[in-house]
Structure 1
Amino acid sequence: MAYSLQKLLSFEAFVSQYANNPRYELADGELIDMEPTGDRETVSGKLATQIGIAIAAAKLPWFIPRTCLIRPFADAITARRPDVIVLDETAIANEPLWQTEPVITLGRTIKLAVEVVSTNWETDYARKVEEYALFGIPEYWIVDYRGLGGVAFIGKPKQPTVTVCQLVGEDYTQRQFRLGEPIASPRFENLQLRLDDVLPRFGSQLRRSDDIL
């Protein structure tokens, strides 16, 4: 993840310039280059496909937008861009910006947010956990397919892990799933998915856990 060296952006300027550019987020007015990779896009795409199948099978009024920004706090210059996000179509009418920009400002519109971990793992495991809980997102997945997170978050030895966060009250409870284990989702009870199912088949190999301690 790289930070640009330009002056701070307003939320409105960021939306005008970068709303449809999946490479960037905004954090406290700073433009953040998320530096997407092919493997990360592979994992995100496979996750979206499997979650979309579960939505269709359950006949839920939910959908996965191609592009979407979250504005978690009206008084902060921050715009998040989850790798996968599930929205409730019945709640979209209450979103003040949606008709003109792909921006979500109400936590109740979101059913699930998914972040696929890259080198900025601290943000996914710490700051976004706090932001998404305060915003009221009921379920948040941290898909650490390379086992990059610190041992305080994924344990030792470090290994590929999916952390499913469920909002209880104002805080998230967390469950973790490793390779070979079915991912249990409170939102998608019919979902049959393992981390193994979304890993890249080709390209760079996952590093062994003893290489990333």
Structure 2
Amino acid sequence: MNLARLHADEFIAQCGDRDSYELIDGELIDLEPTGLHKQGIGFIARKLSVEIDQLNLPYVIPHRCLICISDSTAFCPDVIVLDQTQLVHELLWRHQAVITSGVAIKLIAEVVSTNWQNDYARKTEDYALLGVPEDWIADYLGLGGRDYIGIPKQPTITIGQLEGDRYQKRLFHQDDDLSSTIFPNLRLRASAIFSAGKG
């Protein structure tokens, strides 16, 4: 694979059907997901799917999709909730699992791994500018920097609610019940996600 700087179109053509790569500022990033990381992703997706079914919402959680942020950046979110009624505005969607605007996105959840800096800083900033209403960061190992998860470092779920072009963030630990504006009836403790990610 060509490791030179890639344009988003080249990245989609070469890696668009794989969920182990992202493109950041033209650089190909190997995500190297672990089995435990995938367990955490699957648990969150399952819990949110139950909420979607119970409320009969027109939402879908695709197994994989890319968010094309710019000509040089495309993310593969761990969990993304899309409003199916808004996907008609996504010109690539019928032929490729690619999102180019935030109009259909209701929520994104990232499960933190060794590249935690991207989850806490770069992605959060880009998702806010894209207009994603709710952003979750599930840090089941407490890997994030102290400025993000506090002292002492511990497993933390950060949920950001979009206000303007920035997220207002709340931190949830162990026995805290998560609070979501997208899924207001959600009953889920942070510790359940931590357990899912640790196997």
TM-score (norm 2): 0.95
1:203 Cα deviation after fit: 6.5
Matched, 1:145 2:140: yes
Secondary structure (helix, strand or coil) at the match of 1:107 reads: coil
CA gap of 1:59–1:20, structure 2 versus 1, over 3 A, is same
Distance 1:129 1:202 in 2: 21
CA contact (8 A) 1:39 1:200 kept: no
Gap change, CA 1:90 and 1:157, over 3 Å in 2: same
Aligned to 2:128: 133
Cα distance in 2, alignment partners of residues 60 and 199 from structure 1: 27
8 A Cα contact 2:39 2:196, kept in partner: no
| RMSD of aligned Cα (Å) | 1.6
State whether residues 39 and 197 of structure 2, in contact with CA within 8 Å, keep that contact through their aligned partners in structure 1: no
Partner of 2:192: 197
TM-score normalised to structure 1 length:
0.89
AA matched with 1:84:
V
Give CA-to-partner distance per residue, 1:143-162, whole Å, 9 cap, x none. Answer: 00100001111000000000
- Tell me whether 1:114 sits opposite 2:102 in the alignment: no
Runs of at least 4 residues of structure 1 off by over 3 A?
Answer: 199-204
| Residue matched to 1:6 | 3
Q: Shift of residue 20 of structure 1?
A: 1.4
Counterpart contact for 1:162–1:178, Cα < 8 Å: yes
Identical-residue share of aligned pairs (%): 47
Which residue number corresponds to residue 18 of structure 1? 15
Q: Tell me the distance in 1 between the aligned counterparts of 2:5 and 2:96.
A: 21
Asked if 1 retains the 8 angstrom alpha-carbon contact of 2:106 and 2:182, the reply is: yes
Choose from 178, 193, 196 the match for 1:183. Answer: 178
Distance 1:145 1:5, change over 3 A: farther
Q: Judge conservation of contact 2:44–2:79 (CA < 8 Å) in 1.
A: yes
Q: Deviations over 1:183-206 (max 9, x none)?
A: 0011101111112223346967xx
Q: How far apart are the structure 2 equivalents of 1:201 and 1:90? A: 31
Is 1:57 paired with 2:70? no
Aligned residue number for residue 209 of structure 1: none
2:93 to 90, 95, 98: 98
Aligned residue in 2 for 1:207: none
Label 1:25 to 1:93 Cα distance change in 2 as closer, same or farther (>3 A).
Answer: same
1: CA distance, partners of 2:31 / 2:155: 20
SS in 1 for 2:94: coil
Would you say the 8 A contact 1:42–1:199 is kept in 2?
no
Matching residue's letter, 2:194: L
